[in-house]
Structure 1
Amino acid sequence: MGWPTHIVAAGGYVFDKNGNILIVKTYNRGWDCTGGQIEVGENLEEGVLREILEESGVRASVRCLCGIYSNVSMNTYYDGVTPVPTKVMFDFICDYEDGNLTPSDETSDVIWVPKENVLDYITAPAPRLRFQQILDFSGKVHYCSYVTQPDFKVLSSRYL
């Protein structure tokens, strides 16, 4: 019997003192939040702060956990061949500390957007769902499971 395999990831939704939210343009998903896979030996907060810095040039601090998401699709990587395990993603609201907006090898652009305009940029269904939860955040952590292939479909959604 093998051990189950999951990708553990974290998303960072960084706000500045004026209520603008940081978004990055990715090569595969379009506009999205900063974030990515947690590395071996790294905790969730360290991982999300590292990803924010790597993808945007911004140093941030974690304010709170706001969402947990499971993408249970059985799909393949962008190469169309490599199988991708189930993903568990932890979303954090973060606060801007310092740094200049700087794209990376994973991002082609980094911008601040007024939170009321952010959904004008986010077009993919799963990121859009997650951004909507950030905008609606009232202090309760949202849990949601979904599939992205063959079509995006929410399987469960509730507050914890």
Structure 2
Amino acid sequence: MPTRFDYFDDPRAPKANSIVPSANVIVTDDAGRVLMIRRSDNGNWAVPGGAMDVGESIVRTGVRETLEETGIHCQITGLVGIYTDPRHVIHYTSNDEVRQEFSIVFTARYVSGDPTPSDESREVVWVPRDEVAGLTMDRSMRHRIDAYLRGEGLPQLG
């Protein structure tokens, strides 16, 4: 059973009770494939990422979360966007936290390591760019990845 539910502009969504800065990272290898994870908490596909810790930079958050969730070492190379839409909330049923979206999405290049699942990712795979669109993912993740695939590379103001 899923323990994470994403809501976008949904009147039935629970009211946000927290906001947590987070990073997502779109890592590519030399062949241009995108590193994707199948999330353990809802079964959807996503790029690696997670919450920023106290005393940590947001860039370091992205590198750390990528390594923890995928076994891949990466180097941040750019910015896809900043996503802070208050209409997007994430409900974690394990502790009833409801976060307002606050995600900075980076691009990165593969440095080393082998795709390795973790507690947060039940699958980790390199996906050819033209196959990413066929993966099941939440609306907000799709929006972020589509911005990258279109080559926008500009902060999203919303």
TM-score when scaled to structure 2? 0.81
2-structure distance, mates of 1:125, 1:65: 20
Q: What is the CA distance between 1:83 and its match in structure 2?
A: 3.8
Superposed CA offset, 1:30-51 (max 9, x none): 1100001011110011000000
2:138 corresponds to: 124
Partner of 2:116, secondary structure, is coil
- Once residues 132 and 74 of structure 1 are traced to their aligned partners in structure 2, the CA distance between those partners, rounded to angstroms, is 17
Q: Distance in 2 between matches of 1:143 and 1:135?
A: 14
Bigger RCO of structures 1 and 2 (CA < 8 A, at least 6 apart): 2
Instruction: Find the counterpart in structure 2 of residue 150 from structure 1.
Output: none
Find the counterpart in structure 2 of residue 41 from structure 1. Answer: 55
2:32 is matched with which residue?
A: 19
1:143 is aligned to 156
- TM-superposed CA distance for 1:142, in Å, is 3.0
Distance 2:114 2:85 in 1: 32
Structure 1 residue 80: Cα displacement: 7.7
Give the RMSD, CA atoms, in angstroms.
2.1
Q: Which runs of 5+ in 1 are unaligned?
A: 146-160
Counterparts of 1:34-73 in structure 2 under 5 Å?
Answer: 34-73=48-87
- 1:94 matched residue in structure 2: 108
Corresponding residue pairs, total? 141
Aligned to 2:120: 106
Would the alpha carbon gap of residues 124 and 45 (structure 1) be closer, same or farther in structure 2, given more than 3 Å must change?
same
**Runs (4+) off by over 6 Å:** none
By percentage of residues, which structure has more strand? Answer: 1
Counterpart of 1:125, as a letter, is R
